[in-house]
Structure 1
Amino acid sequence: MERNISVIKDVNGKQIVVINDICFKGRQNIDWNEVEQYLKQYVGEFVEIAESKEIIYIGNDLPDEYTGSNYTAKLKGALAKAKANATQGIPEMIEIAENKRFRENLAKKHDKNARFGWYRYDSRFALPIFDDDGEVLRYNVFHVELVIRHAVDRKLYLYDIINIKKETSTPLEP
């Protein structure tokens, strides 16, 4: 699937992944199976974080976790639509990730797939808001946390995207 993505800097010099198309429409009843199928195109890829030069792999557990996590199940309305459409910019969101934080693995069920703990990074993306004629009015900017697992093979894998928050600052103009 072709992606219409760009990475820009805001007025403060912070990077934003701009997703120019809405693939998953509607704020009610997101088809998470369709989102899961979309995510499968990334499995096996890897992306380097520009700031730290770390390599983040995309494993075959991402599509299921991304669409079936407890966090995703609780999302409603605009935030569900934002998470679904954020899938288009995952490689770029990894690339611009910053503010790495570590958390120990405390759950027995993750002893193998996150043996060496978890990392969280901050990233940002923007989605267009259209008028009735299909013209872009503005872009809403969202802050997210990328959840990265440090696996038994010593590689870092994207596990989920959580804590999606719409930024209340001035939205991007087209």
Structure 2
Amino acid sequence: MLATAVAAIAATYLLASLIALAPRKAGYSHIKHSISEMGEIGAPHQRFVAFGLFLPIGLAMLLVAYLVRPDSSTASNLALSIAIGYIGATAFPCDPASPLFSTTRQALHNIAGAIQYIGGGIALTTLAGRFGEPFETAGFIVLVTAIALCFSSPVRGIIQRIAETCLFGGLALAVWQIGAAV
């Protein structure tokens, strides 16, 4: 039950923070820009986004991974994948516009994101064996978005938010079902 609450609170905090922070970054669009761009190098609230948003989300996901590990290593791996993405974004803020190729810091940022989306997508498809087809669909969506995010697109932000919805929604649903079964 605690893991479900932590996952739901983290997802709600992320959503509320994205809504609150977007107007504070000139020109930011949830449709066009990635979440990381709110905390890109030189952004007005770079430190808050890193340490007040990304780090708490990453730590919350580590806690969820720890809490569900005894009951589901796959759900734990899903939470761990998300944690790596958010802690990686804290340690390695993206360059302006979050390009695919740029600095070493950007490369490390992109690797953390790849672990989040590829690992999360695989974990969701694996959870389908226990929890049903919707997890397989969510995992497939996340894996496709991981590929789509490699390319510049005017809808990059919405593509990422679809993946995040699948990851956090799938995690919350999985840990809730695990808690109900225990």
TM class by shorter chain equals under 0.3
| Structure with the bigger percentage of helix | 2
TM-score (norm 2): 0.27
Higher relative contact order (CA 8 A, sep 6+): 2
